[in-house]
Structure formats: structure tokens, C-alpha cells
């Protein structure tokens, strides 16, 4: 068992708080990335193409 000394509560809450907020930050970044890529795929599935793609394929 780790000996945190007389201020164990403050130390534990520091590590817990950082872990929770970092997990939330990583989760948000991953969720936002997935959401945007899904939107892009849905647009492509509907046949919408970027102008540069149309130019490149002569469309």
C-alpha cells in the first residue's frame, strides 16, 4: 500500500481529478472525430463530391 502521508485525500483527489478530466478530453476528441467522419461518409454516400475531386476526375 502506498503511503500518501498526512494529506492523502488531497493527493488522491488530484490524481482522480486529472484522470477524469483527461479521460473526458480524450473521449471528446475521439467522439468529435468519429462524428465528423461519419458526416463526411454520409455525404459521400449521398453522391456529394468535393469540387476538387470532380475537377480531378474530369466531372
Partner 1 sequence: MSDAAPLKQPNWFSRLAHPGEFLRWSKPMLWPLGIATAMLFAIGLYMALFVSPGTSDNVGPTLRILYMHVPNAWLSQMVYAVMAVAALGTLIWRHPLADVANKAAAPLGAAFTALALYTGALWGRPTWGTFWEWDGRMTSTLVLLLIYLGIIALWRAFDDQLRAGRIVAVVTLVGAINIPIIKFSVDWWQTLHQGSSVLVSGGPRMAPEILATLLVMVVAFTLLFAMLQIVSIRTEIFRRRADAMSRQAAAGGRTA
Positions touching partner 1 (CB under 8 A) are 2-7, 10-11, 13-15, 17-18, 21-22, 25-26, 28-30, 32-33, 36-37, 39-40, 43-44, 46-51, 54, 59
CA distance to 12, 14, 16, 38, 53, per residue, from 24 (Å): 18, 15, 12, 21, 36
Shortest gap between Cβ of 1 and partner 1 (angstroms)? Answer: 11
Classify 2 as helix, strand or coil: coil
Taking the complex as a whole, the smallest distance from the CB of residue 17 to partner 1 amounts, in Å, to 6
Q: State in angstroms the smallest separation of the CB of 53 from partner 1.
A: 9
Cα–Cα distance, 48 to 59 (Å, whole number) = 12
Amino acid at each position: 500500500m502506498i503511503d500518501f502521508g498526512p494529506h492523502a485525500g488531497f493527493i488522491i483527489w488530484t490524481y482522480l481529478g486529472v484522470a477524469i478530466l483527461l479521460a473526458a478530453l480524450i473521449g471528446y476528441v475521439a467522439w468529435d472525430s468519429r462524428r465528423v467522419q461519419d458526416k463526411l461518409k454520409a455525404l459521400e454516400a449521398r453522391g456529394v463530391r468535393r469540387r476538387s475531386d470532380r475537377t480531378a476526375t474530369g466531372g
